[in-house]
Amino acid sequence: MKIITVDSYEELGSRAADVMGAQVIMKPNCVLGLATGSTPLSLYQELIRRNKAGILDFSRVRTVNLDEYVGLGIESDQSYVYFMRKNLFEHINIDMNNTHLPNGLNSDVYAECARYDAVIESLGGIDMQLLGIGHNGHIAFNEPADSFTVNTNCVDLQQSTIEANARFFAKADDVPKKAYTMGVGAILKARRILIIASGEGKADIVREMIKGPVTPKVPASALQMHRNVTVILDKGAASKL
Ligand code: PGA
């Protein structure tokens, strides 16, 4: 793992934009795996700025997102498809037809998981996968478990994840209890992985991800087995390394 520590959350965004931007410049039709949550926001702001400044061109870029709540679609401002449009896609010159997320409105779990795996396959796999990390060590919505997931699956969200994400909803009860998520196996198939974390609250789990044993109890620890991972941390998130 290549570990980069920066001073601030803003700098985290710009260093991550350097890494992702280099990927886009090297391969203009690359497949980017994207993530939601608070951590990627400074990165997305910077990608938007660089696109508007003519530095980055997304016209041929394809994207696949990690996850989506079951039951939510574009009509819901809590859905991840809505998040991606508002925080990135609507502000850059990407073709919306080239952006992909699991369809939270498809209640046929088997069909939706198979469809999403086929989408990733049809794009030729993921060139660079962006990840955040949950306080419990989840990547995407792969929660701590007894074994690693492989392909897209439908998960029951843990209470700690529901509580962490309740900040985006009117009340905790409104947070969906299930989500579609790319599997850990599919994430590990990405050719490069970029994982970002910010704040002291993530320091313990970042240490476990990097220095702890590889275990499905800390899904992010699986990244130790990937040969091309870049970790960008601000001072707080790196404080226990
Ligand atoms: P956060 O979420 O960026 O909002 O902290 C990260 C995650 O849960 O993967």
User: 65: which strand partners?
Assistant: 34
Q: Tell me, what's the pLDDT at 171?
A: 87
* CB neighbourhood size of 66 (10 A): 27
The catalytic residue among 65, 112, 138, 153 is 138
Q: How far apart are CA 105 and CA 73, in angstroms?
A: 6
- The answer to whether 59 and 95 are in contact (CB under 8 A) is yes
Q: Is 219 in the pocket of ligand 1 (CB under 6 A)?
A: no
Q: Tell me, what's the pLDDT at 172?
A: 86
Catalytic residue at 67?
yes
Q: Tell me, what's the pLDDT at 9?
A: 97
Q: Walk along the chain (241 residues) and give the pLDDT tens digit of each residue.
A: 999 999 999 999 999 999 999 999 999 999 999 999 999 999 999 999 999 999 999 999 999 999 999 999 999 999 999 999 999 999 999 999 999 999 999 999 999 999 999 999 999 999 999 999 999 999 999 999 999 999 999 999 989 889 989 988 988 899 999 999 999 999 999 999 999 999 999 999 999 999 999 999 999 999 999 999 999 999 999 999 9
Which pairs from 17-23 meet CB under 8 Å and 24+ separation?
17/43, 17/46, 17/47, 17/50, 19/128, 19/194, 19/230, 19/232, 20/47, 20/128, 20/130, 20/194, 21/47, 21/50, 21/55, 21/56, 23/127, 23/128, 23/192
Alpha helices in 27-158 (DSSP H): 41-52, 80-87, 109-122
Residue 63 to residues 7, 30, 46, 107, 146: CA-CA distances in angstroms?
A: 29, 8, 17, 23, 30
Q: Tell me, what's the pLDDT at 16?
A: 98
Look up residue 23 and give its amino acid: Q
* CB neighbourhood size of 73 (10 A): 15
Give the residue from 219, 149, 153, 212 showing the smallest Cα distance to 185. Answer: 149
Rounded distance from Cα 197 to ligand 1 centre (Å): 8
Nearest CA to ligand 1 atom 2: 37
Domain definitions of the chain by residue range: 2-234
Nearest CA to ligand 1 atom 7: 134
Catalytic residue at 226?
no
Catalytic residue at 146?
no
Q: How far apart are CA 134 and CA 76, in angstroms?
A: 23
The CATH architecture assigned to 2-234 reads 3-Layer(aba) Sandwich (3.40)
**Structure tokens, 76:** 């819901």
Residue 141 to residues 71, 118, 131, 157, 173: CA-CA distances in angstroms?
A: 15, 19, 11, 7, 18
